[in-house]
Amino acid sequence: MTVVAAPKRLLIVDDEPAMHDSYARSFAAQRGAAEDALGAMAAELFGDDAPDAADEAEAFDLTHCHQGLDAVAAVEAALAAGTPYAVAFIDVRMPPGIDGRETARRIRALDPEINLCIVTGFSDFSPIEISKVAGPADKIFYIAKPFEVAEIVQTATALAHRWEVDRELAAARAQLAAQIVQLEEQGAELAANESRAIHMATHDSLTDAPNRLAFLRALGDRAKRPGLFATAMFDLDRFKIVNDTLGHLAGDALIREVCSILHAQAPEGAVVARLGGDEFGVLFDTPGEEAAVMACDRIVAACAGTHQVFGNSVQSGASAGVVVVEGAGVCDPIDALRRSDLALNDAKRTGRGITRLFDESMDEGIRFRRRVEQGLSQAIDKGELSLVYQPIVSRGELEVIGFEALVRWNTEEYGPISPATFIPIAEESNVIHELGDWILDQALAMVQRFPGQYVSVNFSPRQFRRSNFVGHIMESVQRAGVSPGRVQIEITETAIFDDAERAAETLYKLRQMGFRIALDDFGTGYSSLYNIRKFALDSLKIDRSFIDGMGRERESAAIVHSIIHLGRALGLEVIAEGVETEAQVQALRLAGASHMQGYFFSRPVAPDLAIGLAEQRFLGQDVADAPQSNGTHG
């Protein structure tokens, strides 16, 4: 079948009419006797598969110009019409008017892509001289007069093909360059969104001071370093009166002024954060308890007195609670904050406007924690522990694709104890390993009863740092006869960012073995939206606090959208936790979350009910109203 291609345009520039006739005859005689002979030879060699020379013959559209100026004008018109010339054959000597060298120079200035072929019997200029003005050298060629038909045709064919390839390459490069620019713009936009999201996630919108999350992060970092440091909490006295009498705008103005005072009066290098409401936290190094109390007294004194708020004189004061602890891993950051809060409560009970230093008599919780730790070590033997299962559903058809295993403890002495209470206590001792092994074994036994869903098991930072963690998990799975692909390992940001290199290696090994990996409570810990790329993850789980705040806080909605956008960009599933309303479901669907989990679909349920949900597979909207176990969020 003959291929009909658009003819390539050739420009013939020569002052001799006879030469134009020669060009015309040459291109008209492309298929002559010689070609017929070659075609017959090919047919004899290749039979029916022999290529037809006519299939591959190049078609040319010739434009004849007798003077250089006419040729320059023709090139300019062709470019304007979008039908440029592929090749120009130029005679050097063309009296009168401009010569071939000048013609070539002007044509090259108009069209850098055209191939120039100088055709002459004798030239006043050397090839080097012509190349200097009409180059580059790889786009300028020479043919001597008189020329053979085959010579001129082959040259035109080769240069026309090269011209076409060059144009295709140029278009491909331009497209690639545009894509690179687009990717760079998207990368810059992602980085800007990340920066904004991180700032919103770690700063208070009213004062722009660090928020509770940032304060806890700073507290955790400081607790790793040696030396004494103070954790202080400040609360405004009688702040409710200001809100009730002057309104919330006045209350906001007072909050901002007090925040400025704290920054001005806090010790050098201190971290000042708004923890929520009228409560502030201050973290600073100190030589001892006496110096810490003096620093807090100075801040309390600066906060006391009269403040001008919207033209009104407002009497204000503050109370403080402070605890001094040793760093270098000895201190639990959350416990330091809790103790300073206990001291603050004691200051407010005692009479306000004062600083209280924490002492053990304030902490009934310490004694309770000790009793819980002792009871937890015996809970397995007593049969007080159990697992409940909360389904994870896909956003589209609400298909149950997995279950998160959650531990419950019902004690003889205290009744049910929340995981939020006993898990941190277990984490501080070796009990967490015994408890974690029991949870994993129970979950592995359960997943064998599911008709295809996976089970998701939480591992604490201390478990994750356990020596031979990978081998221990793999041994448990093999012993249970469960495929690793049906087990999802949930870890927190704290677990992997304490030692990022080791964590990356551990996660890579687990993924190689087939386990699913989920990063739990994403957005609340230490991670950078950029740095998670280095970890072998399958999914990000958005913390329930952001889902809960989506309808009320612009910052929470922005964080949720940023996490979903990041997850999709990295090819990760994004699981939204704590989904409790139809409005949240619709908002998360629109945002692009791939999976959801929460009370709207099901509370954590006992094993038999979980199997029923797994066999049902698809959840209707009435599932949230179905009989459920009385599990807590954790």
630, pLDDT greater than 70: no
Model pLDDT, residue 616: 94
Q: How far apart are CA 410 and CA 401, in angstroms?
A: 29
| Cβ proximity of 410 and 388 under 8 Å | no
Model pLDDT, residue 45: 46
| Cβ proximity of 574 and 610 under 8 Å | no
Model pLDDT, residue 2: 46
Q: How far apart are CA 351 and CA 345, in angstroms?
A: 10
Q: Where are the domains of the chain?
A: 8-171, 212-362, 367-621
Q: Provide the whole-model pTM.
A: 0.49
Q: Give how far the C-alpha of residue 275 lies from the chain's centroid of Cα atoms, to the nearest Å.
A: 28
Mean pLDDT of the chain: 86
How many angstroms separate the Cα of 38 from the Cα of each of 41, 52, 58, 218, 368? 5, 10, 17, 84, 101
Q: How far apart are CA 231 and CA 276, in angstroms?
A: 16
Model pLDDT, residue 37: 45
Model confidence band, residue 43 (pLDDT cutoffs 50, 70, 90):
low
64, pLDDT greater than 80: yes
Model pLDDT, residue 318: 94
At 554, phi and psi to the nearest 5?
-60, -35
For residue 548, the one-letter residue type is D
Span 493-509, pLDDT tens digits? 777 876 778 888 999 99
Neighbours of 443 (CB within 10 A): 24
Average pLDDT over every residue of 64-82: 94
Helix (H, G, I), strand (E, B), or coil: what is residue 556? helix
- Token pair belonging to 92: 């050097």
472, pLDDT greater than 50: yes
| Cβ proximity of 298 and 234 under 8 Å | no
- Token pair belonging to 120: 């002459």
Model confidence band, residue 625 (pLDDT cutoffs 50, 70, 90):
very low
Average pLDDT over every residue of 288-317: 89
Listed residue (482, 365, 384) closest to 425, CA to CA: 365
Q: How far apart are CA 26 and CA 94, in angstroms?
A: 21
Neighbours of 599 (CB within 10 A): 16
Strand partners for 409? 385, 417
| Cβ proximity of 337 and 212 under 8 Å | no
Count Cα neighbours of 457 within 13 Å in the Cβ-side half-sphere.
Answer: 27
| Cβ proximity of 550 and 527 under 8 Å | no
Helix (H, G, I), strand (E, B), or coil: what is residue 399? strand
Model confidence band, residue 447 (pLDDT cutoffs 50, 70, 90):
very high
Model confidence band, residue 627 (pLDDT cutoffs 50, 70, 90):
very low
Model pLDDT, residue 125: 60
Average pLDDT over every residue of 323-342: 88
* DSSP strand pairing (228-237 vs 312-326): antiparallel
Give, rounded to a whole angstrom, the gap between the first and last alpha carbons of the chain.
Answer: 72
The side-by-side arrangement of strands in the sheet containing 8-13 is 60-65, 8-13, 87-91, 115-120, 140-144
Model pLDDT, residue 527: 52
50, pLDDT greater than 50: no
Neighbours of 71 (CB within 10 A): 28
| Cβ proximity of 593 and 575 under 8 Å | yes
Neighbours of 126 (CB within 10 A): 9
For residues 155 and 626, which has the higher predicted lDDT (pLDDT)?
155
Model pLDDT, residue 632: 40
Model pLDDT, residue 29: 61
Q: Looking at residue 304, what DSSP letter applies?
A: -
Listed residue (29, 51, 30) closest to 40, CA to CA: 51
Model pLDDT, residue 461: 87
Listed residue (283, 240, 230, 239) closest to 257, CA to CA: 239
% of the chain surpassing 90 pLDDT? 49
Model pLDDT, residue 582: 92
Neighbours of 538 (CB within 10 A): 17
Q: How far apart are CA 387 and CA 405, in angstroms?
A: 6
Q: Looking at residue 1, what DSSP letter applies?
A: -
Class of the CATH domain delimited by 212-362: alpha beta
Listed residue (365, 314, 378) closest to 339, CA to CA: 365
Helix segments in 100-142, DSSP class H:
100-110, 127-134
CATH superfamily of 367-621: EAL domain (3.20.20.450)
At 578, phi and psi to the nearest 5?
75, 30
Count Cα neighbours of 103 within 13 Å in the Cβ-side half-sphere.
Answer: 34
Span 507-558, pLDDT tens digits? 999 999 999 999 988 866 555 555 577 788 999 999 888 898 887 778 888 8
Q: Which residues contact residue 395 at a Cβ distance below 8 angstroms, ignoring those fewer than 6 apart?
A: 588, 589, 593, 594, 595, 596
Model confidence band, residue 314 (pLDDT cutoffs 50, 70, 90):
confident
Class of the CATH domain delimited by 8-171: alpha beta
Q: Degrees (nearest 5) of the Cα angle 368, 371, 372?
A: 85
Q: How far apart are CA 301 and CA 303, in angstroms?
A: 5
Model confidence band, residue 30 (pLDDT cutoffs 50, 70, 90):
low
Q: How far apart are CA 315 and CA 427, in angstroms?
A: 45
% of the chain surpassing 70 pLDDT? 89
Q: How far apart are CA 501 and CA 481, in angstroms?
A: 31
Model pLDDT, residue 123: 58
Span 274-289, pLDDT tens digits? 999 899 999 999 999 9
- Token pair belonging to 536: 């072998």
For residues 328 and 211, which has the higher predicted lDDT (pLDDT)?
211
Neighbours of 147 (CB within 10 A): 18
Span 149-175, pLDDT tens digits? 888 898 899 889 989 998 899 889 989
Model pLDDT, residue 369: 75
For residues 584 and 623, which has the higher predicted lDDT (pLDDT)?
584
- Token pair belonging to 420: 């939020």
Q: How far apart are CA 212 and CA 388, in angstroms?
A: 31
Model confidence band, residue 634 (pLDDT cutoffs 50, 70, 90):
low
188, pLDDT greater than 70: yes
* Residue where the block lists tokens 């110096």: 291
Helix (H, G, I), strand (E, B), or coil: what is residue 311? coil
Q: Which residues contact residue 94 at a Cβ distance below 8 angstroms, ignoring those fewer than 6 apart?
A: 13, 14, 15, 66, 67, 68, 100, 103
Length of the chain: 634
Span 384-425, pLDDT tens digits? 999 999 999 998 889 999 999 999 999 888 889 999 889 988
For residues 366 and 94, which has the higher predicted lDDT (pLDDT)?
94
* DSSP strand pairing (140-144 vs 279-285): unpaired
Span 344-353, pLDDT tens digits? 988 987 777 9
Q: How far apart are CA 311 and CA 101, in angstroms?
A: 86
Q: Which residues contact residue 20 at a Cβ distance below 8 angstroms, ignoring those fewer than 6 apart?
A: 12, 14, 64, 66
For residues 349 and 462, which has the higher predicted lDDT (pLDDT)?
462
Q: How far apart are CA 431 and CA 426, in angstroms?
A: 5
Average pLDDT over every residue of 471-488: 96
Q: How far apart are CA 347 and CA 279, in angstroms?
A: 14
Helix (H, G, I), strand (E, B), or coil: what is residue 403? strand
Model pLDDT, residue 41: 47
Q: Looking at residue 210, what DSSP letter applies?
A: B
Average pLDDT over every residue of 181-191: 88
